[in-house]
Amino acid sequence: MTPDELSEALSAALASAVADGTLALDADALPSSVHVERPKQREHGDWATNVALQLAKKAGTTPRALAEDLAGRLGSTPGIKAVDVAGPGFLNITLEAGAAGELARTIVEAGAEYGRSDALDGQVIDLEYISANPTGPLHIGHTRWAALGDSLVRILRAAGADVTAEYYINDAGAQMDRFGASVLAQIHGTEVPEGGYRGEYVAELGRQVLAANPQIVDLPEDEAVALARDEAYRLQLAEIRDVLDSFGVHFDVWFSERTLHDSGAVTTAVERLREQGHVYDDGGAVWLRTTDFTDDKDRVLIRANGEPTYFAADAAYYLSKKDRGFPGKIYLLGADHHGYINRLKAISAAAGDDPAANIEILIGQLVSVQGAKLSKRAGNIIELRDLVEWIGADAVRYSLSRYPADTPLELAGEEMIKQSNDNPVFYVQYAHSRTCAVDRNAADRAVRRVLDDGTDGFDPALLDHPTEAVLVGRLTEFPRIVAQAAELREPHRIARYLEGLAADYHKWYAECRVLPYPDEEVQDVHRTRLWLNDAVRQVLANGLDLLGVSAPERM
């Protein structure tokens, strides 16, 4: 029996109580679905609901009286072993072991599909994340968005959404020229210009640019800067793509800001917004009246000197996403960008969209290392590449995915490396590799889920140990957890769930042997437990995949 089926049974009980006049409520005053949840305390049964507490007052009765009545109506439902009324009026429901354990077979047969849902079916979404400037390597700050963004893509897809992962390359503007000048300065061995980029990577880029373009030293200054800029940009972008690849993060679209300028899309965007009636001229500049919406001041699109602002490119980029057919646009941004929320929503509204439905801005808090702020220009960066090399992609991804994005994260500098062995990712991965070890040993002992005669030897009623009720209950929750993580855009819920599942599995493993002892015959209890073992293996693998973390067969 699944929680959905249980919920329906409760709805039916409520409806019958209304029908025979026991419950003095209109049928349409009943909740559309009854919420059931896993109680924290094991002795409170497999599932619990507070529906009696919520309805009693409206019906002019007491929660306990209503709960008692519902308990009576539910008692004879097939698959339900016991219904108890507890505390102020909770209904605690215990399922028959067989009814609950059937899930193990369902999961094994569903395989990688278990956990997927249609919760977000039909939604077409563009999810933009990282979008770091191509003027330096990705550092630990970007790494958080890389891990969260990619996991979110996977989770949204598992919930049925059609998602395109997109990286916006800020390859236009004065910063690129400063970048080129900085690289050129390294080539010439001169001082890094004011506001330029520093760090060993700039020197390395200089060496590579010089090696491939020895003629650069003879070019006029402006041509040399342009060449250094374009060559270093190409190298740096390739480096970013390469390191993301090694991190298991892949984008469907790499979108160049420069193409917006070169194609005239920025100019067109300003015109389109003007047609919508939200653009005006003042002081020689062109403004978007973002205060028509939720912004606290208007924003400049075209400066008095004729140059478009970064904001104008943002508007053009938004229109591009709209034109390319994405009703849903999710931006995953760092907290240092939260000042843009209102103006981005204003762009959406000014373009004729509904900001509440067409744009969603997720703000993630920044990562700090022992209080030190990380600055590219200061050169004190911890690079993603180094992190992966030190503690491994799995451990980095997992430890950044197990916290909500809006939690400010403080990582302990040197501790991080030695911390790797204590990372909860190994606890979860170990549980998975343990299920695989059981499978290997089962094969050696000729314990199989399906017998030679075609019967499967699966008897869920044999899963009657307390740790099995807990474990099966946890497996039941997985699809809801995935759907919830998708709807709330919170990948960390997957990680926390997996930690709980791994704990339940380890406890079960310590209490219930899957394989027979050497002098023992293979019986259905062993085969049935193997089904459960493999169901856990499948859910661990499915969950880890949603986080972009590997599920090793051996460690």
Partner RNA sequence: GCGCCUGUAGCUCAGUGGAUAGAGCGUCUGCCUCCGGAGCAGAAGGUCGGGGGUUCGAGUCCCUCCAGGCGCACCA
Q: What are phi and psi of 405, to 5 degrees?
A: -65, -25
Are 321 and 329 contacting, i.e. CB atoms less than 8 angstroms apart? yes
32 forms part of the interface with RNA (CB under 7 A): no
Near RNA by CB under 7 A: residue from 31, 75, 87, 466 = 87
Residue among 81, 116, 258, 337 that touches RNA (CB under 7 A)? 337
Please count the CA atoms within 13 angstroms of the CA of 306 that sit on its side-chain side.
0
Contact 81, 512 (CB under 8 A): no
Comparing CB distances to RNA, the nearer of 165 and 428 is: 428
CA end-to-end span of the chain, whole Å?
35
Strands 279-282 and 285-288: antiparallel
Residue 23 · residue 39 · CB < 8 Å: no
Binding part of the chain for RNA, among 184-192, 221-229, 380-388, 422-430 by CB under 7 A, reads 422-430
Looking at 160-168, 318-326, 424-432, 456-464, which segment touches RNA (CB under 7 A)? 424-432
Q: Which of residues 366-395 bind RNA (CB under 7 A)?
A: 366, 368, 373
Give the Cα separation of 417 and 392 in Å (integer). Answer: 10
Check binding of 31 to RNA (CB under 7 A): no
Give which of 174, 190, 192 is closest to 182, Cα–Cα. 192
Q: Select the span of 13-21, 96-104, 232-240, 427-435 touching RNA (CB under 7 A).
A: 427-435
* 72 counts as binding RNA under rule CB under 7 A: no
User: Residue 135, CB half-sphere, CA atoms under 13 Å: how many?
Assistant: 24
Identified binder of RNA from the candidate list 365, 380, 477, 524, rule CB under 7 A: 365
Interaction mask 107-146, RNA, x per CB under 7 A: --------------------------x-------------
Q: Check if the beta carbon of residue 395 is closer than 8 Å to that of residue 495.
A: no
- In angstroms, the CA 48 to CA 98 distance is 19
Question: Can you tell me which of 430, 461, 477, 522 binds RNA, judged by CB under 7 A?
Answer: 430
- Element housing 374 (H / E): none
Q: Which of 197, 326, 426, 478 binds RNA (CB under 7 A)?
A: 426
Q: Cα 218–219–225 angle (5° rounding)?
A: 125
Beta bridge pairs of residue 533: none
Q: Are strands 328-334 and 359-364 parallel, antiparallel or unpaired?
A: parallel
Residue-wise DSSP of 330-372:
EEEEEGGGGGGHHHHHHHHHHTT--HHHHEEEEEEPPEEETTB
- Note whether 339 binds RNA by CB under 7 A: yes
User: In this structure, what DSSP letter does residue 129 have?
Assistant: -
| Minimum CB distance to RNA smaller for 81 or for 188 | 81
Q: Which stretch binds RNA (CB under 7 A): 156-164, 208-216, 318-326, 487-495?
A: 487-495
Q: Which of 390, 433, 448, 459 binds RNA (CB under 7 A)?
A: 433
Site string for RNA, 496-535 (x = CB under 7 A): x--x---x--xx-xx-xxxx-xx-----------------
Residues 47-66 that bind RNA (CB under 7 A): 48, 50, 53-54, 57, 63
Contact between 434 and RNA per CB under 7 A: yes
Rounded to a whole number of angstroms, the minimum distance from the CB of residue 159 to RNA is 13
**Residues near 126 by beta carbon (within 8 Å), at least 6 away in sequence:** 163, 164, 166, 321, 324, 326, 328, 329, 330
Among 118, 466, 488, 523, interactor with RNA by CB under 7 A: 488
The residue from 246, 268, 407, 523 that contacts RNA (CB under 7 A) is 407
| Residue 555 binds to RNA (criterion: CB under 7 A) | yes
Residues between 183 and 212 with contacts to RNA, criterion CB under 7 A: none
Count the site residues for RNA by CB under 7 A. Answer: 91
User: d(Cα 88, Cα 62) in Å, to the nearest integer?
Assistant: 9
The Cα 102–Cα 111 span in angstroms is: 15
- Using the rule CB under 7 A, give the single segment among 26-34, 83-91, 386-394, 537-545 that binds RNA: 83-91
Q: Which is nearer to RNA, 12 or 341 (CB)?
A: 341
Query: Rounded to the nearest whole angstrom, what is the least distance from the CB of residue 329 to RNA in the complex?
Result: 18
Segment 90-109, which members bind RNA (CB under 7 A)? 90, 92
User: Where in 263-302 is the site for RNA (CB under 7 A)?
Assistant: 282-285, 296-297, 299-300
Provide Rg for the chain, Cα atoms.
29
